Amino acid sequence: MQQSRNWRELLASLISDPRQKQTLANKLGVTPLTLTRWAEGESQPRPQNLRLLAEALPQYRAELQQAFGEEFGLSNLGEPMLELEEEEIPSAFYARVLNTHATALAMLRFWSIASLILQQAIGQLDPHQVGIAITVVQCMPPSGPAGKVRSLRKRVGIGTGPWQSSVEQKAGFLGAESLAGYTVAQGRLIVIQDLMRDQGYYPARPIEGEVGCAIAPILRSSCVAGGLLVSSTRPDFFLPGRSRLVQEYADLLALAFEPHEFYELQLIDLQTMPPEHVQEEHFKHFQRRVAALMREAALNDRPLKVTQAELLVWQQLEEELLGLPLPDLQE
């Protein structure tokens, strides 16, 4: 029984740090109290949780496998099960989204609906916490000499380890160099099970840790407002049921956008945007620029709402980034 005591002692030492305890709980999809109960021997994990625990602690995997074999008779941890627990969006959830659409203040409608949908989607698409990231991107208003949509702006995102686990505002632009851009321009779902194996002729600039992805356009009739990006740490993660859910959540996200934020596909003419590290330099003083714009507008007796000022600054940033000389766009 020494080995069974050892794995509990190991867990107890790891969760003595509250932040590490919360991170591990998030990865396993359990509460911090559950981890404490496991460590103290008050309860024992289910086989699926044993697999996830070993995966979350790869440096101790061999030790944990031996301990779990002795205590639980589990000789092979294998890979976590990737099956969906539900392959349909619950009907009650549609009712919640419709109620939010009807009751949310106009200025909060996007955030209210998008955060509600992302929280539901993350739980349904990745119930075993193997690692996905979900991001909503939106078409920038038409601009330039031709009056076309030239880029997509990241709006909000959520993830499971190794990505952030709460709904957060995002900053950044995507364009013709991205799979999101390709999807929005084509107006159809794109699924790549393994970016190293299956990318083919699709454009891609993978984020750190991304192995596979599914991107669905957010459509209303023949017009598009943006896209829903789902990245996975696993190859072959987007089985047919999961890919269908990605598109269904994208369809539901159409309720988060205003009618004027949808554009005909012929208006989509995405340009190449610089890589993330180049963009970040331009975002450093975003709030300062918004405040300055609002002060200037007030002095001219043309006051702006915060949302209006922010959009104007995003448009300025888009123009600046598109205007960078080509050598600056190299990785």
Distance set, CA 324 to CA 127, 165, 255, 278, 283 (Å): 42, 34, 35, 10, 15
Question: 283: exposed, middle or buried (C-beta count within 10 Å: 0-12, 13-18, 19+)?
Answer: middle
For the chain, the structural domain boundaries read 7-72, 91-267, 276-323
Do 7-72 and 91-267 fold alike per CATH?
no
Contacts of 72 (CB under 8 A, 6+ apart): 44, 47, 50
Pairing of strands 223-232, 190-192: unpaired
pLDDT at 331: 45
pLDDT at 75: 53
Q: Cα–Cα distance between 9 and 329 in angstroms, integer?
A: 50
CATH topology of domain 91-267: Beta-Lactamase (3.30.450)
Distance set, CA 226 to CA 22, 175, 229, 253, 303 (Å): 33, 11, 10, 10, 29
- Is there a contact between 159 and 133 (Cβ–Cβ < 8 Å)? yes
Q: Tokens for 277, please give them.
A: 């590290």
The CATH number for 7-72, chosen from 1.10.150, 1.10.10, 1.10.260, 1.10.8, is 1.10.260
Q: Cα–Cα distance between 167 and 114 in angstroms, integer?
A: 9
- Is there a contact between 174 and 180 (Cβ–Cβ < 8 Å)? yes
Residue labelled with tokens 């009739």: 221
Q: Cα–Cα distance between 260 and 169 in angstroms, integer?
A: 22
pLDDT at 167: 85
pLDDT in 10s for each residue of the chain, 331 residues: 344 447 888 888 889 988 888 888 877 777 888 889 888 888 878 766 777 787 778 788 778 877 777 776 655 555 544 566 678 999 999 999 999 999 999 999 999 999 999 999 999 999 888 899 999 999 999 999 999 999 999 999 999 878 877 889 899 999 999 999 999 999 999 999 888 877 666 777 788 889 899 999 999 999 999 999 999 998 888 888 899 999 999 999 999 999 999 999 999 999 999 999 899 999 999 999 999 999 999 999 999 999 999 999 999 999 999 999 865 444 4
pLDDT at 116: 97
Positive or negative, the CA dihedral 60, 61, 62, 64 is: positive
DSSP 274-307: PPHHHHHHHHTTHHHHHHHHHHHHHHTT----HH
pLDDT at 1: 36
